[in-house]
Structures are given as structure tokens and as C-alpha cells.
Chain A
Amino acid sequence: MIAPIHDLLLLLVILTNFWVLGTTRLSATVRATAIQGLLLGLLPVALHPGWTAHTIGLAVGTIVVKAIVLPAFLLWATREAAVRREVEPLVGFSASLMLGAVAVALAFAIATRLALPDVPTRLLVPVALATVMVGLLVLTTRSKALSQVVGYLILENGIYVFGLSQAERVPFLVEVGVLLDIFVGVFIMGIVVFHINREFDSLDSARLTELKD
């Protein structure tokens, strides 16, 4: 049996998650999120092949923001920064790959118990949950500020996939608002990353330790 196209896209989303977890190069993690953004843009069209204005608009908006503009901006930020690699993550790369695998297993276990109504494909919810968990993992275990922005993007991507299960219930205008907020949010984070780089000569958020009680 040939897997339907949307299941293929969802499996590729999982692969991009592992790509981010396993690589040391900051620019490669940004490229991985760009590809993930492209997959996310294609998903609504694959899931609802009716070519309605709603799905087309969502697809175009997602691809422009998540696959082109934000990655280009973040790549520019990495080029400006002297540091290109994630040097000392709190959890090693092989360990975080292992944790990623655990997250996927956990996601499938939780998804079978959730029993969401009218989900277009069985893979949708586990992939969404796994992506959310990987995003949180990257956010908490990587020390470079830019890696944390990437983690935030992956977290948002996971929530986006989850939201696709409810696409008919959320109006287009709101989706545009959500996309715009994420766009501006990542943009401001990128600017702050840029300032951190200038002030501290590194993108290491672990050095931000002046404020404490």
C-alpha cells in the first residue's frame, strides 16, 4: 500500500526534528526548520485537496513566513555572529537524539489515548505532539540564544500541525493573526539575539546570569 501524501509529509516533519536534534551547526538547524516550514505549508493542501481559498491562503502564508522569511532572517543573524556551532549543549547530541526517540514513542502513546474527534489522518496528532516535545527539548537543553529561537519555532510548528486537526473550526482571519504574531515574535527575538551577540561577544544565553536573587 502506498502511503497517502500527507502521511509522507508528516513523516518528513519527524525527520526534520531529528535533523535539528543531531546537528551541531546553527545554520543547519535553521535550514531544517525552513524545510519543516515548507512541509507545514504543503500539509493543509494535502489534507484538504479542495483548493479552497482558505487552504491556499494558509499554505502560501505559512511557506512565505516559515520557509522563506524567518529562516533567511535567522541565517543572516548566524552569519553576523562569530559563533557558528552549538558548542556545549546541556545534553549531548546522541543523548538528545535518544530523548527525541523517546518523545516520538511517548507522543504515539498519548495520541492513542486522546481520542480526538474528526482527525483527518492517524499520524497527525502523534507527529504534532512529538514536534511540540522536540521543540521544548531544544529550548531547554541548548545554550545558544539562536538555538532557543529555533526551538521556539519547532514548538510553534508542532502546535500548528495540531491546529490542522481543527482547521475547519478556526477561521482564516485568526490563522493570519497567529501567523503574524509568530512572525513578529521571532523577528523581535532575532533582533535581541543580534544585540546579545554585540554585547556579550557570543550568542550564549547561558552567559545571561547577572540578574538573580
Chain B
Amino acid sequence: MRLSALILVPIVGSALAYAHRAAAWRAAWLLGIAAVHLGICVSLWVRPPAVELEGWLAADAPGLLVITLVSVLFAAVATYAVGYLQVESPRGGRLFATCLLGFLAAASLISLSQHFALLWVGMESTTLAMAPLVYHRHDRRSLEAVWKYLVLSSVGIALALFGTFFLAAAQVEGRPLLLPDLVAGAATLRPSLLRAAFVFMIVGYGTKMGLAPLHAWKPDTYGEAPSLVAGLMSGGLTSCAFLGVVRIAQVTSAAGAADFTGPILIGFGVVSLIVAAAFMIGQTDLKRLLAYSSVEHMGILVLGLGVGGVGSFGSMLHLVNNGLTKGLMFLTVGNVIQRTGTSQATAMGGLLKRMPLSGGLLMVGLFAVTGSPPFGMFISEFTILGATLRQGHPWVAAITVALLAIIFVGLATTILEAVYRDEPEPLPVERESALRVGGPVVLAALTLLLGLYLPAALRSVLADAARTLGGNVP
């Protein structure tokens, strides 16, 4: 009941948001559905749900993590969107609210799906729901961005469907394409077809995550999409795509194919870190900078998955931290861009004086996103690095540390430029609305909390998720 509701409630809300022409109603639907969704998600933690639709829907540990993360992020984005649409809504924002809620439905379907083909349907739906949001401004640059995004994501997703059919062909016993049956019958899977399935799915869902070298759409899309959309993509959509990779990894690890999948995942991870580091040095556009930071964190996620051991635990924790931090950063940058009219750090003119709240949040975000203590990412990155060493990849660990240092310098240079630049004539101090700052503040508090203290309930779900990937718990 509750699992189906998590998918159906946003669908209904999305239709109603389109039906009502008054802006106040749209805001009400956005906030109302976000609140109901978050409420149901919390109830899943209190009282675990039964499986639904003959086992096609279930809230297992990885799915529960992703749907809760998406729900929290969506609540922050929805409150922010109400304020955003008051200022910038070229065509009234009807389609905008509808697509946001449509994305929530698709993301819920991905999180709860235990069937690989259903997972694919959800994944493609997110691409489609996001396209009108990316093209919100209807100008040339956003047109170019949405085209690249649509074509690359669709082709990637098509290859993932190809991989899904390979997985069906690899299966010998159990109900077709259902995750629990695939895992239970993992020993009987045909090895060569399973490997083909894995390769196509990592390329397909990797494109959607934005792993290098499949990330070409990412800087353009995040750069041109409204900031809250970019935040929802880099925090929520990429988490869903990573869940696709986690699902196939659950099957391959049960089938004992980690020797084959490990090097591929580690390779994608290291290449993503290299590309991110190379493009972040000297990048002065804040949104493109954050896009490359997203490439970096996607790399860290698959690196943790690839090395195994406690790395899987680290990756699942990193997933949560990345979602919260990316939401914090993009929403704050969105506030800044709206007031200053530019995404170039050099032209922002000393944010700490001009927009003290957003300037401060950017500084907090800088430390959170680079994995500095006391923020959550410090712990997850540290766990993954430790696993990399312990699983016998000292060179990978060394390269990763070096690249993380370069990335820190790249991010810090640009953000400090934006925050501390001294203008000869001080610009007036701007008042910031609670609707626009509330979301980022809550997200910042959550990622700080996860750095100081890991709640027991979260820890046990992270451990369960890691165990489904054949990993162990620190």
C-alpha cells in the first residue's frame, strides 16, 4: 500500500498541478505532495513495509536509502521552487511543477523497483521528466543543453535496456529479471551473458550518472538548467542512476563475478576523478564547477563499489552525503546567481558582504563538498580510501588522494574568489527570503550531523545495503 502510494501520490499531484492554473495551487500541490511523500518515507523507517505487487516493489536497504534521500532533497527543492517561481517563471511554471512531481514519481519507482525492466522504465521516465525543466528558460544555450542531455541520456539508457535483455538471457531459474530471484539463483547464471549484461548496464546507467568519459552532457546541462533543477539532478537523479549500478552489482557479487566487475568500476572511478580534477582547475563558472564536482563524486561512488570490503558501506554513506551536499550547493548558488545575474565567480563581487547568508552557506558547502571534517563526506571518503588500501590497491589510493587535493584547490580558489573578493565600492546588502535559504540551511545541518554522529537506524540500513553487495561493515 505505502510503496505504491509513494509512486502514485506524486503522479496524481503532477496531474493536479497541471490542471490548476492558479500559481497558489501549484505551490500548494508541490509542498503538499513533498510533505506526504516525506511522511510516508519516514514511516518506512519506523515500520518496515511488506513487499507489494508480487514482489515487484520492495523497500530493501539500498532502495530505502535512495528514496529517503530523494524525498528529503525534494522537500528542500520544492520549498525553494515556490520562491523561485515567484521570480522566474517565463510561462507560468505549470509544466515546471508538473515535471518536478513527475520526476519524484519516477525516482520513487526506481528506488522501490525489484524488477530490472521496471527499473529501466523508471530510469527513462526521469530523463523525460527532466528535459522540460532543463529547457525552462527557452533560450539558445538551454536548447543546446537539453539536446545534448536528451540524446546522450537516451542512448545511454537504450544500452542499459540492451544489458537488461542480456541479463534476462543469462538467467536460468526463478522468476525473470526479479532481483531476489536473480540473487538466489546467482550460481546458475550464464557467466558470459552476465558479463555482457554488466558491461552494457554500467555504460548505460554510468552515462546517466555522468561517469567520465560518459559525462559530456553534465557540465552543459547543469550549467544551463535552473539551479534547483541542477541540484535535483546532481543530488537525486544521479543517486537513482547509481542505484541502477548497485542493482546489477548485487547480482554480479552474488554470482562471484567481482574479479571481473571490480577493475571496471575502479577504472571508471579513477578516470572520473582525473577528468574532474583536470577541468576544475581554473573553472570560474560556479555551476560548471559543481558539475565537475559531481563527476568527481560519482567516481568516488563507483570506486568504493569496485574495491569492495568496507568500500560498499562507504559508497552507500557517500551517496547520502553527496545528495545532501549537492542540494545545498546548487540551491545556494541559485540564490547567488539570481541576485548577481552571473554564474562567474569573478563577477560576484564579495558575497560575504553582499549576501552574508548565502556567502556563509557557500563557505560551509565548500568544506562539505570537499570532504573536510567535520562534515559527512569526510567520513565516507575516509572509509572508501581505507577500503582501497586494505583491499590491496595502494596506487589507486595514492592517486585518489592526490586528485582530491587538486580538486580541493580548484574548488577553493573559485569559491573564495566569489565570497571574499573586495570591491572598490561596496555593493548594497541584499535581504534573502526564508523560503530560498531554509532548504540549503537544513541540508547543511543534515550533512554536518552525519559527520558528527551516525544514527543507529541509518547505520544498520547502511550495513544491510553493504551486505547485499558482498561488502562488510567497519
Counting chain A CB atoms within 10 Å of each CB, which of B169, B176, B193, B288 scores highest?
B169
Asked if residues A165 and B169 are in contact (CB atoms below 8 Å), the reply is yes
Would you call A170 an interface residue if the criterion is a C-beta within 8 Å of the partner chain's C-beta atoms? yes
A76 to B380, CA, bound (A): 52
Chain B residues with CB below 8 A from A106, complex form: none
A195 to B141, CA, bound (A): 12
Chain B 187-201 interface residues, beta-carbon cutoff 8 Å to A: 190, 192-193, 196
Would you call A211 an interface residue if the criterion is a C-beta within 8 Å of the partner chain's C-beta atoms? yes
Would you call A120 an interface residue if the criterion is a C-beta within 8 Å of the partner chain's C-beta atoms? no
Q: How many A-B contacts if CB must be within 8 Å? A: 112
A20 to B112, CA, bound (A): 40
Comparing A27-35, A38-46, A80-88, A154-162, the segment that makes contact with chain B is A154-162
Would you call A188 an interface residue if the criterion is a C-beta within 8 Å of the partner chain's C-beta atoms? yes
Q: A192-B135, A199-B140 are in contact. Are A177 and B147 (CB under 8 A)?
A: no
A182 to B201, CA, bound (A): 18
A178 to B168, CA, bound (A): 15
Asked if residues B117 and A116 are in contact (CB atoms below 8 Å), the reply is no
Chain B 272-294 interface residues, beta-carbon cutoff 8 Å to A: 279, 283, 288
Chain A residues with CB below 8 A from B147, complex form: 145, 192, 196, 205, 208
Interface of A is mostly: helix
Chain B residues with CB below 8 A from A132, complex form: 162
Would you call B165 an interface residue if the criterion is a C-beta within 8 Å of the partner chain's C-beta atoms? yes
Counting chain A CB atoms within 10 Å of each CB, which of B151, B154, B219, B283 scores highest?
B154
Asked if residues B168 and A181 are in contact (CB atoms below 8 Å), the reply is no
A142 to B80, CA, bound (A): 41
Counting chain A CB atoms within 10 Å of each CB, which of B121, B148, B165 scores highest?
B165
Q: A170-B177, A174-B117 are in contact. Are A208 and B144 (CB under 8 A)?
A: yes
Would you call B115 an interface residue if the criterion is a C-beta within 8 Å of the partner chain's C-beta atoms? yes
Q: A116-B169, A165-B169, A199-B140 are in contact. Are A185 and B162 (CB under 8 A)?
A: no
Asked if residues A152 and B283 are in contact (CB atoms below 8 Å), the reply is no
Chain A residues with CB below 8 A from B131, complex form: 188, 192
Chain A residues with CB below 8 A from B196, complex form: 114
Interface residues on chain A, number (Cβ under 8 Å): 41
A209 to B148, CA, bound (A): 11
Would you call B84 an interface residue if the criterion is a C-beta within 8 Å of the partner chain's C-beta atoms? no
Chain B 132-148 interface residues, beta-carbon cutoff 8 Å to A: 132, 135, 138, 140-141, 143-148
Asked if residues A195 and B143 are in contact (CB atoms below 8 Å), the reply is yes
Would you call A51 an interface residue if the criterion is a C-beta within 8 Å of the partner chain's C-beta atoms? no
Q: A169-B176, A192-B146 are in contact. Are A184 and B128 (CB under 8 A)?
A: yes
Would you call A189 an interface residue if the criterion is a C-beta within 8 Å of the partner chain's C-beta atoms? yes
Q: With both chains docked as a complex, state the minimum distance between the C-beta of B197 and any C-beta of chain A, in angstroms.
A: 11
Asked if residues B124 and A196 are in contact (CB atoms below 8 Å), the reply is no
Q: A181-B125, A211-B220 are in contact. Are A139 and B117 (CB under 8 A)?
A: no
Would you call B155 an interface residue if the criterion is a C-beta within 8 Å of the partner chain's C-beta atoms? yes
Which chain A residue shows the least CB distance to B123?
Answer: A181
A195 to B138, CA, bound (A): 9
Asked if residues A185 and B279 are in contact (CB atoms below 8 Å), the reply is no
Binary contact track B219-234/A, C-beta < 8 Å → 1, others 0: 1100110000000000
B158: contacting residue among A145, A155, A205, A213, CB under 8 A: A155
Binary contact track A95-124/B, C-beta < 8 Å → 1, others 0: 000000000000000000011110000000
Chain B residues with CB below 8 A from A208, complex form: 143-144, 147-148
Q: A170-B117, A170-B168, A208-B148 are in contact. Are A159 and B161 (CB under 8 A)?
A: yes
Would you call B171 an interface residue if the criterion is a C-beta within 8 Å of the partner chain's C-beta atoms? yes
Chain A residues with CB below 8 A from B140, complex form: 199-200, 210
Would you call B51 an interface residue if the criterion is a C-beta within 8 Å of the partner chain's C-beta atoms? no
Would you call B68 an interface residue if the criterion is a C-beta within 8 Å of the partner chain's C-beta atoms? no
Asked if residues B165 and A139 are in contact (CB atoms below 8 Å), the reply is no
Binary contact track B59-70/A, C-beta < 8 Å → 1, others 0: 000000000000
Which chain B residue shows the least CB distance to A145?
Answer: B147
B121: contacting residue among A117, A152, A166, A177, CB under 8 A: A177
Asked if residues B177 and A185 are in contact (CB atoms below 8 Å), the reply is no
Which chain B residue shows the least CB distance to A200?
Answer: B140
Would you call A163 an interface residue if the criterion is a C-beta within 8 Å of the partner chain's C-beta atoms? yes
Asked if residues B165 and A162 are in contact (CB atoms below 8 Å), the reply is yes
Chain B residues with CB below 8 A from A189, complex form: 150-151, 154
Asked if residues A174 and B115 are in contact (CB atoms below 8 Å), the reply is yes
Which chain A residue shows the least CB distance to B141?
Answer: A210
Binary contact track B167-193/A, C-beta < 8 Å → 1, others 0: 011010000110000000000001011
A181 to B126, CA, bound (A): 10
Q: With both chains docked as a complex, state the minimum distance between the C-beta of B165 and any C-beta of chain A, in angstroms.
A: 5
Asked if residues B144 and A155 are in contact (CB atoms below 8 Å), the reply is no
Would you call A17 an interface residue if the criterion is a C-beta within 8 Å of the partner chain's C-beta atoms? no
Asked if residues A188 and B148 are in contact (CB atoms below 8 Å), the reply is no
A114 to B146, CA, bound (A): 37
Chain A residues with CB below 8 A from B192, complex form: 114-115
Binary contact track A111-153/B, C-beta < 8 Å → 1, others 0: 0001111000000000000001000100100000100100010
Binary contact track B445-467/A, C-beta < 8 Å → 1, others 0: 00000000000000000000000
Asked if residues A169 and B168 are in contact (CB atoms below 8 Å), the reply is yes
A166: contacting residue among B118, B125, B146, B168, CB under 8 A: B168
Binding site for B on A (CB under 8 A): 114-117, 132, 136, 139, 145, 148, 152, 155-156, 159, 162-163, 165-166, 168-171, 174, 177-178, 181-182, 184-185, 188-189, 192, 195-196, 199-200, 205, 208-211, 213
Q: What 6 additional pairs, Cβ within 8 angstroms, besides A114-B193, A159-B158, A185-B150?
A: A116-B169, A117-B169, A178-B121, A181-B121, A200-B140, A213-B288
